[in-house]
A and B are shown apart, each in its own frame.
Chain A
Amino acid sequence: MTRRRVLPGLPLALGITLVYVAIIVVLPLGALVFKAASLGPEDYWRIVSSDRAVASYRVTVLSALAATAFNLVFGMALAWVLVRYRFPGRRFIDALVDLPFALPTAVAGIALTALFAPNGWFGSVAGLAGIKVAYTPLGIMIAMSFTSLPFIVRTVQPVLEDLDPALEEAAQSLGGSDGSIFMRVILPLLAPALLAGLSLSFARSLGEFGAIIFIAGNQPMSTEITALLAFIRLEEYDYQAAAAIASVLLIAAFMMLAVTNLLQARALRYTARN
């Protein structure tokens, strides 16, 4: 901060940045918080703790946890396969991993619904086994898994690529089996990246809307996610309730950010110097 400015353009660049951030990001979120705060604690609490709202939190959080757990295993496996193995079509798969980011969520939503509806390609097969996917929490979980899959792959993949082969060789020369080397050496070194991916994946799942509403069935108390409840309150012109429920999602997102940073600092404590 004592450094003298050599380069020009700070006032202009910082000016544009601050104006944009203020108008586009801070103002709306501020307005939302203001609106929610203007409710008063009792009304606010009544809205956010209503049975329907609580049921929506439950289905959203549980589905997001399940989706994240699925992605943890599948995403890790996918990253491992892409980094460690050479097989035909590897680059194609590598490019496809980002499809859930590139595909608009509404399109993903109707595509997944078409696949998992009782008469769909997968839905009919699952139906034979007596499993209903579309219009159940399982469908919500699948939509969440789809939209958040790239997070874990893309955070783990580069770290796995950069992992020093000598660490594995050292562990092997000390007599470690594949399993123990993975659990004791590789996994702990991936942990910070994995944690970052998990939290991004979970946060995305909590807030996802477009991909879910088509497949979810949207029955209050059972398959209605929190984002949809906020949307419904808007359509009912119940703006205060919409503000309150949206603020819950906002708080959840901020809490996720804080928890992630804390966990990451802990996971990385070994890099700190004395």
Chain B
Amino acid sequence: MAQKKKPPRVGDHPAFRRCLLAVVLTLTALVVVAPLLVIAVQAFSAGIGVFLATIADPDTRHAIMLTVVTALIAVPVNTVFGVAAAWAITKFDFRGKRFLLIVIEIPFSISPIVAGVAYLFVYGLQGLFGPALEAADVKILFALPGIVLASMFVTAPFVARELIPLMQAQGRDLEEAATSLGASGWRTFFSVTLPNVRWALLYGVVLCNARVMGEFGAVSVVSGNIRGQTNTLPLHVELLYHDYQTAGAFAAASILALLAVVTLFAKVLLERQGAGRAGRPTLAAPQTLKAETLK
């Protein structure tokens, strides 16, 4: 006896289903897949020689180095901050917690240009500390420190927002048990807390890294765009593009696109380990960060 289908759910009508799928897949191809393809095509449009020459160009190599160095500083510092913030917010009750959470989330909703401009008014010559820094001959803007600081601003919430909902959901019982058994704070963190949140932590780190390496707006304000000195890879892409070296620009861009693809791949793998789920919206409270953590 042939098995009959389940009774149709809402939207299961075959004609409707086919139409919707066709429209959505076509749009996805146009909107999401095409940009990725065009990068690859354009990168090699002037031949593999131009591609390799762009990559081998000292300015490009310097831009890559600068991007990597920025990430090597900004991501670990951000990770320490994210872990510290999550520990303080989820394992303790204190006044102003709600406010602190909002402040941590602010960079997420602010234009990177605003961030860049804001940094100018702290460390620039016309800024708060500018004259003092000038007198002491310390260069922050238009140099590596400025780029790192701006990158840290735009990515400030990345690690914390992955950890906080998860550690909130896990509660304090395990840590309290470990402490009651005589474990020190560090021991408790490394052998009880960290193993339970390691995938979420890595997830946050991966996303943070992608954003640091790809940040454009904020960095373009504070870097000064000095070719071969303060140009990160995204800025270098812009510079080549505006120099009408289109193939070169796309060749440099293809490195960043590859980074994006690797990031997506890592993201999928980490999501299979359960990362990235704790903070997701639910029926009861779409923004878990706001609703649940703030008891």
Question: Does A223 make an interface contact (CB < 8 A)?
Answer: no
Q: Pick the contact of B118 from A32, A98, A165, A168 — CB < 8 Å?
A: A32
The distance from the CB of A238 to the nearest CB of chain B, in whole angstroms, is 11
Q: List which B156-192 residues lie within 8 A (CB) of chain A.
A: 156, 172, 175-176, 179-180, 184-185, 188-189
Cβ–Cβ contact A77 & B24, under 8 A: yes
Chain B residues in 8 Å Cβ range of A182: 10-11
Q: Pick the contact of A85 from B21, B80, B114, B250 — CB < 8 Å?
A: B21
C-alpha gap A207/B117 in the complex (Å): 13
> Which among B88, B189, B246 has the greatest number of chain A C-beta atoms within 10 A?
B88
Q: Pick the contact of A193 from B88, B115, B256, B286 — CB < 8 Å?
A: B286
Chain B residues in 8 Å Cβ range of A253: 109-111, 114
Chain B residues in 8 Å Cβ range of A131: none
1/0 per residue A211-222: CB within 8 Å of B?
000100000000
Question: Does A54 make an interface contact (CB < 8 A)?
Answer: no
Cβ–Cβ contact A165 & B92, under 8 A: no
The answer to whether A13 and B85 touch (CB under 8 A), given A1-B93, A99-B32, is yes
Question: Does B197 make an interface contact (CB < 8 A)?
Answer: no
Cβ–Cβ contact A111 & B24, under 8 A: no
Question: Does A100 make an interface contact (CB < 8 A)?
Answer: yes
Question: Does A78 make an interface contact (CB < 8 A)?
Answer: yes
The answer to whether A99 and B117 touch (CB under 8 A), given A81-B24, A193-B281, A196-B287, is no
Cβ–Cβ contact B28 & A93, under 8 A: yes
Cβ–Cβ contact B111 & A104, under 8 A: no
Question: Does B72 make an interface contact (CB < 8 A)?
Answer: no
The answer to whether A104 and B285 touch (CB under 8 A), given A28-B153, A74-B27, is no
The distance from the CB of A244 to the nearest CB of chain B, in whole angstroms, is 10
Interface size bracket, B side: 35 or more
Q: List which A89-122 residues lie within 8 A (CB) of chain B.
A: 91, 93, 95-108, 110-112, 114-115, 120-122
Cβ–Cβ contact B153 & A96, under 8 A: no
Q: How many residues of A are in contact with the other chain, CB < 8 A?
A: 107
The answer to whether A210 and B234 touch (CB under 8 A), given A21-B103, A189-B283, A231-B221, is yes
1/0 per residue A21-64: CB within 8 Å of B?
10011111101101100000000000000000000000000000
C-alpha gap A70/B84 in the complex (Å): 39
Residue of chain B at shortest CB distance from A82? B24
Chain B residues in 8 Å Cβ range of A256: 109
Question: Does B263 make an interface contact (CB < 8 A)?
Answer: yes
Question: Does A128 make an interface contact (CB < 8 A)?
Answer: no
Cβ–Cβ contact A103 & B257, under 8 A: yes
Residue of chain A at shortest CB distance from B81? A20
C-alpha gap A168/B11 in the complex (Å): 11
Residue of chain B at shortest CB distance from A93? B28
Residue of chain B at shortest CB distance from A108? B35
1/0 per residue B84-105: CB within 8 Å of A?
1101110111110000101110
C-alpha gap A146/B180 in the complex (Å): 51
The answer to whether A103 and B113 touch (CB under 8 A), given A17-B84, A98-B267, A115-B38, is no
Cβ–Cβ contact A87 & B152, under 8 A: no
1/0 per residue B1-45: CB within 8 Å of A?
000000101111100110011011101101111111011001000
Pairs A–B under 8 Å by Cβ, sample size 13: A13-B88, A29-B118, A31-B128, A77-B24, A102-B210, A103-B260, A111-B38, A121-B34, A195-B286, A230-B113, A230-B117, A239-B126, A246-B111
Binding site for B on A (CB under 8 A): 1, 3, 5-10, 12-18, 20-21, 24-29, 31-32, 34-35, 74, 77-78, 80-81, 84-85, 87, 91, 93, 95-108, 110-112, 114-115, 120-122, 145-146, 149, 154-155, 158-159, 162-163, 165, 168, 172, 178, 181-182, 186, 189, 192-193, 195-196, 200, 203-204, 206-210, 214, 227-228, 230-231, 234, 239, 242-243, 246, 249-250, 253, 256-257, 261, 264, 268, 271
